[in-house]
Structure 1
């Protein structure tokens, strides 16, 4: 008899856990990144002459301003980077001597 009572108790507890199933509302979608909300698309067409120059923080700020990008990402050799594409992000790729090897958006 005790095993039948224990089985009935376990079954009752399992059913009770399902009975109160309240659902939480879906969270509101996240707002777009600031640059996307403001329409800051990146444009590197005027920056390509800078490839080969030594990168500095001041140059990075200038490149970001000239490209219209909301964010700047500097990628050194071996840097791990996300693969998500963001049209408001400027990527500056460097070699091991901090010379710019490529400038692109994403």
Structure 2
């Protein structure tokens, strides 16, 4: 019984210390510290090395099955450096790359939409 009581006493003694450690302390003069500034984005990697693709040159392919004009042929004609084929339900990253051609297909592999980015 004494061992159990000692454990309860230790918990009761240290519990206020844990609460005090989690408490937020105000800055000078009662001011609450503000959040740090947001991080800056370094645009050095996209400094214009990538030319944006030209959708006007390849819009003819919308409505055609992928394969008639291949994805590589569309990329060449549109001036894209990279190609990404996206089928319904597929996961895709949200990073924007001006030199990438995104080919959106329907369930039958027919080109629904072409986008740069």
* Fold conserved between structures, TM > 0.5: yes
Instruction: Give 5+ residue unaligned stretches, structure 1.
Output: 1-28
TM-score normalized by structure 2? 0.57
Given that residues 61 and 69 in structure 2 are in contact (C-alpha distance below 8 angstroms), is that contact kept between their aligned partners in structure 1?
no
**Structure 2 CA distance for aligned equivalents of residues 64 and 48 of structure 1:** 12
Select 2:85's aligned residue among 54, 71, 74. Answer: 74
**Structure 1 CA distance for aligned equivalents of residues 112 and 52 of structure 2:** 22
Instruction: Give 5+ residue unaligned stretches, structure 2.
Output: 1-41
Aligned CA distance change for structure 1 residues 70 and 57 (closer, same or farther; 3 Å): farther
Aligned CA distance change for structure 1 residues 91 and 60 (closer, same or farther; 3 Å): same
C-alpha distance after superposition, 1:14-65 (max 9, x if no partner): xxxxxxxxxxxxxxx8x737xx52x432111121111010002861111000
**Structure 2 CA distance for aligned equivalents of residues 84 and 65 of structure 1:** 22
**Structure 1 CA distance for aligned equivalents of residues 96 and 111 of structure 2:** 20
Aligned-CA RMSD value: 2.3
Displaced runs of 4+ in structure 1, greater than 3 A?
A: none
Select 1:61's aligned residue among 55, 72, 87. Answer: 72
Select 1:42's aligned residue among 53, 60, 66. Answer: 53
**Structure 2 CA distance for aligned equivalents of residues 84 and 71 of structure 1:** 13
- Select the structure of larger CA radius of gyration: 2
TM-score normalized by structure 1? 0.62
Greater relative contact order: 1 or 2 (C-alpha under 8 angstroms, separation 6 or more)? 1
**Structure 1 CA distance for aligned equivalents of residues 87 and 57 of structure 2:** 22
Number of residues paired by the alignment?
Answer: 75
